[in-house]
Amino acid sequence: MRKQLEPGQFYGHTLLKRSLADLTLAENEYPAHSHLQRHSHERGYFCLILRGTYCENYSRRARICGPMMLVFHPPGERHSEAFDAEPVVSFNVELGADWLCRLREMGGTFDQPIEFRGGKIATLGLRLFQEFARGGTGSDLAIESITMEILAAYMGRQPTTAHSENPEWLRRASDNLDACLDQPLSLRRVAHSVGVHPVYFATVFRQFNGCSAGEYVRRRRVEYARRILANPKIPLAQIALDAGFADQSHFTRTYMRYTGRTPSQDRTFLRFKTRHAPAS
């Protein structure tokens, strides 16, 4: 019996799952020496193998899947899996109708299986998984942005610009992001505000900034928080909210990742530095 899985449904044991912006993201584990009978998924998805190996049969063909391999499965593709001698962990990202619409807007389709063994697109997949696992408000924008980069790479679309300097629309977009650090942000809304398709926006943004839009916003939030930390009258919880973090705990984790110190430690350091600064 060939079964079609409903949207958001995957076989295996679900370790973590999130739904965001018409995406379903799930980390799944499959036991060693297990088998999945031939089945299909109502929605298309891409899969990054994180650990383990297995043989997958699809469309009268077969492939060996292993770590740092990213595979696109179009909607309705029939496939089966036979897992090897160790458990397999995969990261699956299912695309809703909105995402397929964006592909069509860019002249792309999602009707053929494609695989990537390492390289840029698998690296983007790993970055996407890291954002998914990290969670927090800052990860939503990064997930949206990196997914668009992956789809651009899937279609073979690389941004081309006529000038070595930032396009004017990108400067305006960065200003918009800087002005809304304390608010939930959507890459689609930012791209729309400057008249650029979101998939193109995501790829050009990384080209000129060296990071996703979500990572850019996270860095700017830390920079903003650090500028006002030396003021002892502002509680850390208030700084966290003003800088756009979900709560003080999320603020502390993110701040440590960028600076190597907690906000409290940096506040003490900055106050000490201010007191002992040489008089002008």
pTM of the predicted model, to two decimals? 0.84
148-166 pLDDT, tens digit per residue, is 999 888 887 555 544 467 8
Both tokens of 231, joined, read 């003021």
CA distances from 191 to 87, 148, 170, 210, 213 (A): 41, 12, 9, 18, 11
190-244 pLDDT, tens digit per residue, is 999 999 999 889 999 999 999 999 999 999 999 999 998 988 889 999 999 999 8
- Residue 184 has what pLDDT? 84
The CATH number for 271's domain is 1.10.10.60
Report if residue 136 sits inside a domain.
Answer: no
Report if residue 235 sits inside a domain.
Answer: yes
Of 221, 215, 226, nearest to 178 by C-alpha is 221
Last residue of a domain, one of 58, 92, 117: 117
Residue 84 structural domain: 3-117
**SS3 assignment for the chain:** CCEEECCCCCCCEEEEEEEECCEEEEEEEECCCCEEEEEEECCCEEEEEEECCEEEEECCEEEEECCCEEEEECCCCCEEEEECCCCEEEEEEEECHHHHHHHHHCCCCCCCCEEEECHHHHHHHHHHHHHHHHCCHHHHHHHHHHHHHHHHHHCCCCCCCCCCCCCHHHHHHHHHHHHCCCCCCCHHHHHHHCCCCHHHHHHHHHHHHCCCHHHHHHHHHHHHHHHHCCCCCCCHHHHHHHCCCCCHHHHHHHHHHHHCCCHHHHHHHHHHHHHCCCCC
Domain count, the chain: 2
Report if residue 151 sits inside a domain.
Answer: no
Report if residue 123 sits inside a domain.
Answer: no
Last residue of a domain, one of 117, 141, 170: 117
Last residue of a domain, one of 92, 117, 142: 117
Report if residue 144 sits inside a domain.
Answer: no
Question: Mean pLDDT, to the nearest integer, of 74-82?
Answer: 95
The CATH number for 53's domain is 2.60.120.10
Selection from 81-85, 149-153, 247-251 with the highest mean pLDDT: 81-85
Q: Are residues 164 and 242 in the same domain?
A: yes
Report if residue 269 sits inside a domain.
Answer: yes
Question: Mean pLDDT, to the nearest integer, of 132-154?
Answer: 86
- Residue 6 has what pLDDT? 94
Both tokens of 24, joined, read 């379903």
Report if residue 168 sits inside a domain.
Answer: yes
Report if residue 101 sits inside a domain.
Answer: yes
Tokens 């973590």, residue? 16
